[in-house]
Amino acid sequence: MDRFGERVANIVRDCSDAEPEPGQEKEAWRPRKERYLSELRNYSNDSLLVSGADKLHNARAILADYRILGEALWLRFNSDSDQLWYYRALVGVFREVGTPLADELDRVVSELEVLVKQRR
């Protein structure tokens, strides 16, 4: 925090998936993501922009890899995760709070959804 200041520290805190305390298990994927989606609505504009850019980058990478790997892509994720649900839910929250990257994230997620539907 001393090096980059409180503003950056807040963004990092908001955008980080909290690690459990030593001796505690990490929360299951779905409740952890649902909590993130809920908390996202209260983030500063700075944190929303960084989170939106991060999620857009990740969605683009998933789309690019899905074009190459197809359904095998999903094996790299936690077995109880539902990436399509999560990214579609992110689009909804980013739209709700007015994040400028919401439309582009929606475009990428929609393209991924179409490809998945075609291949399944």
Nearest CA among 87, 78, 79 for reference residue 108: 87
How many Å apart are CA 104 and CA 120, to the nearest integer?
25
Q: What is the pTM of this model?
A: 0.89
What letter does residue 2 receive in the DSSP assignment? T
Asked if 101 and 52 count as a contact pair (C-beta separation under 8 A), the reply is yes
What letter does residue 77 receive in the DSSP assignment? S
Over 80: is that where the pLDDT of 10 sits?
no
How many Å apart are CA 58 and CA 61, to the nearest integer?
5
pLDDT of 24 reads: 83
20-44: per-residue pLDDT in tens?
777 788 889 999 999 999 999 999 9
How many Å apart are CA 95 and CA 77, to the nearest integer?
26
